Structure 1
Amino acid sequence: MHRLIYISKSLIGTDRSDLDAIVKTSAVRNACAGITGVLWFDKNNFAQVLEGDRAAIIETMDRINADERHTDIEIICDREIKQPMFGNWSMTLPRETPEGIEATAFLIGFAQNEQSASARKLYEIAIVADDLG
C-alpha cells in the first residue's frame, strides 16, 4: 500500500461545477484502479491524498501531471504505508461528516509535523478548504 500527497495551483477559478467534474471523473477512475483519496480545494490550490497500489498511483499521477486544470505540482509525501487512511473513498471532497473531519485532521496533523514551505502550504489549503465546507 502506498500514499502520495501533493499540492498544486488551481487554474479552474471558482466555478464549483469544474471542481465537481474533477471529483466525479476521478472517483470513477480511482475506483477502477483501486485508489482511495481526498481532494481539498481552497479556490486557489489543490491538496490531494492518493492511496493504493504504487503502480496505480504512478499511472494516476501521470494523468494528474498532464491535466491542464492545475500547475506547479509539488509532491509532499510519497511513501509506503501499512493501511489506508481513507477507507473506500475512491475520491471525495472533505465535508462536515465524521470521515471528512478525520481526513482533514489527518492532513493538518501531517502538515504540522513536516518542516517545509510546501507542508505549510498544505496546512493552509486544508484549513481554508475546511472553512469553505
Structure 2
Amino acid sequence: MKHTICYLSKDHQPMKNSELENLFNQVLEFNNSSNISGILLHNNNFFLQVLEGKKETIQELYATIRKDNRHKDILIVLDQKIESRIFKNYDARFSILKNKDDIEKINIYLSRYSSNNNYPTNIKRLLEPFLL
C-alpha cells in the first residue's frame, strides 16, 4: 500500500551549514536505498518533509524522526494512503530543496502534475511559506 506522511518541525537548535549538509546526505542515502520518494526542505530553522512509500516503511521512519533530537514541535500535516507517488519521477526520487530555485522547480513540477485527488495541490500549498 502506498502511503505518505508530511510533517513540519522546528530545529531543536540552529544547525550549521555543515550539519545540514551531513543530514541531507544521510537522508538522501537512506531514503533512496529504502525506496522512499519525497522532498526535504529546511528554511528559517524549520523542516518540511514529505515521505512516500510503503506504509510500514514510512511509519517506521517517521517514528525514528520523532525521536531525533534535532527536531522539536513536530506537526504531522498529512498521514494518508495515496493512489500514486507524486515524487517518484522527480529528480533522484528523493530530493533536498536547498534554495529558492529548487522550490520554484518543484512548484512547476507540481503544477503540471495531473491527479484525480488533491494530494499534489495540498503539497504545493504546504510549500508556499517556504517561498518567502
TM-score when normalising by structure 1 = 0.74
Corresponding residue for residue 10 of structure 2 = 9
Shift of residue 89, structure 1, vs aligned partner: 2.1
Distance in structure 2 (CA, Å) of the matches to 1:82 and 1:109 = 14
RMSD: 2.9
2:41–2:97 Cα contact (<8 Å) kept = yes
1:110 aligns with one of 92, 114, 122: 122
Cα 1:102–1:67 change in 2 (3 A) is: farther
Q: Structure 2: which amino acid aligns with 1:82?
A: E
Q: Is the counterpart of residue 93 in structure 1 residue 97 in structure 2?
A: yes
Alpha-carbon distance between aligned partners in 2 of 1:33 and 1:74, rounded to the nearest angstrom: 23
Q: With the length of structure 2 as denominator, give the TM-score of the two structures.
A: 0.74
Segment of structure 1 superposing worse, 9-18 or 58-67: 9-18
Question: Greater strand share, 1 or 2?
Answer: 2
Check whether the contact 1:35–1:50 (CA below 8 A) recurs between aligned residues.
yes
Unaligned runs of 5+ in 2: 114-118
Contact conserved, 2:42 with 2:98, CA < 8 A, in 1? no
Asked whether the equivalents of residues 41 and 47 of structure 1 are also in contact (C-alpha less than 8 Å), the reply is: yes
Bigger shift: residues 35-44 or 68-77: 35-44
Q: Which residue of the partner structure matches residue 58 of structure 1?
A: 59
The answer to which structure has the higher helix fraction is: 1
| In 1: Cα distance, 2:42 partner to 2:120 partner | 14
What amino acid sits opposite 2:53 in the alignment? Answer: G
Per-residue Cα deviation, 1:61-103 (whole angstroms, up to 9, x for no partner): 1111111111111100011111111124234225525753446
Displacement of 1:41? 1.2
Q: Report the count of equivalent residues.
A: 120
Report the Cα offset of residue 9 of structure 1: 0.7
Give the conservation status (yes or no) of the 8 Å contact 1:39–1:91: yes
- Structure 1: which 5+ runs fail to align? 114-118, 129-133
